């Protein structure tokens, strides 16, 4: 109980600084996820439409996911230097797999009868994709986005090792000074962000499923 009270006092006394770190953490994640959507959705569609490319694309994004996060950021550091930009690129690469894979699965799961009906009324392949296949794949995409967001929030906590900010700065400072209070002051908001992102995107995912199921 004493520890919780002490943690509460510390977070209240340093509220403005922790709030600034939280905003920076959120921005890193948002920028990375936005990039992952811009790149990942076309890659997922390409994999679904060109069967020969699917193993190559999915294997590449799988490999990116398998690289340990600290190693990934260290490699990026060599090419892009220290700072916010390098962290965003690292988070972007880590967020690609669930978005690419779920877009691919979503497009492939569209029933053949639906696509045949679209062709029957004279839709071009592009119209079929944009008006039928991609909209029906959105619930799958939202599931991938949900996973990507949680991963990005977690990985962003090691950003200070390569000159980034965010809540990881407080965690790493706590480790350096062997201060449990500072570690938890960074870890608790980071965990809360991951939970909030998961809950919000989970609600959106359920709504999209209901919408396209009707």
pLDDT digits (tens, 9 = 90+) for 23-70: 999 999 999 999 999 999 999 999 999 989 999 999 999 998 888 888
- pLDDT of 142 reads 93
pLDDT of residue 53: 92
Q: What is the largest CA-CA distance in the chain?
A: 71
The CB density around residue 58, as the number of other CB atoms within 10 Å, is: 17
- Residue 90's pLDDT is 92
Is the pLDDT at 10 greater than 70? The verdict is: yes
Dist CA 57 CA 126 (whole Å): 21
- Best CA proximity match to 156, nearest among 145, 172, 148, 168: 168
Closest CA to 136 of 120, 160, 112: 112
- pLDDT tens digits for 178-200? 899 999 999 999 999 999 999 99
Q: Which tokens hold the place of 46?
A: 């390409």
Mean pLDDT of the 174-181 span: 90
pLDDT band at 207 (very low <50, low <70, confident <90, very high): confident
DSSP letter string, 32-84: HHHHHHHHHHHHHHHHHH-TTTHHHHHHHHHHHHHS-HHHHHHHHHHHH-SSH
Q: With contact defined as beta carbons under 8 Å apart, do 87 and 73 qualify?
A: yes
What pLDDT shows up at residue 78?
87
Task: Tell me what the pLDDT averaged over the chain comes to.
Answer: 90
pLDDT of residue 132: 85
Rounded to 5 degrees, φ, ψ at 179 are: -115, 105
Mean pLDDT for 142-151 is 94
Angle among Cα 37, 97, 155 to the nearest 5 degrees reads 90
């Amino acid at each position: 109980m004493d520890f919780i009270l002490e943690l509460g006092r510390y977070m209240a006394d340093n509220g403005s600084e922790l709030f600034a770190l939280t905003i920076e953490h959120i921005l890193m994640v948002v920028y990375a996820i936005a990039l992952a959507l811009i790149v990942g959705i076309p890659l997922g569609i390409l994999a679904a439409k060109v069967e020969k490319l699917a193993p190559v694309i999915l294997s590449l994004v799988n490999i990116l996911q398998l690289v340990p996060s600290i190693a990934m950021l260290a490699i990026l550091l060599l090419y892009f230097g220290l700072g916010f930009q390098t962290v965003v690129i690292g988070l972007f690469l880590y967020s690609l797999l669930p978005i690419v894979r779920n877009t691919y699965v979503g497009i492939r799961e569209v029933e053949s009868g639906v696509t045949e009906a679209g062709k029957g009324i004279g839709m071009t392949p592009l119209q079929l994709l944009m008006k039928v296949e991609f909209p029906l794949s959105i619930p799958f995409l939202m599931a991938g986005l949900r996973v990507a967001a949680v991963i990005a929030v977690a990985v962003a906590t090691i950003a200070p090792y390569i000159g980034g900010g965010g809540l990881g700065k407080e965690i790493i400072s706590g480790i350096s000074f062997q201060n449990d209070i500072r570690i938890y002051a960074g870890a608790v908001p980071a965990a809360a962000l991951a939970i909030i992102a998961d809950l919000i995107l989970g609600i959106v995912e359920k709504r999209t499923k209901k919408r396209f199921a009707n």
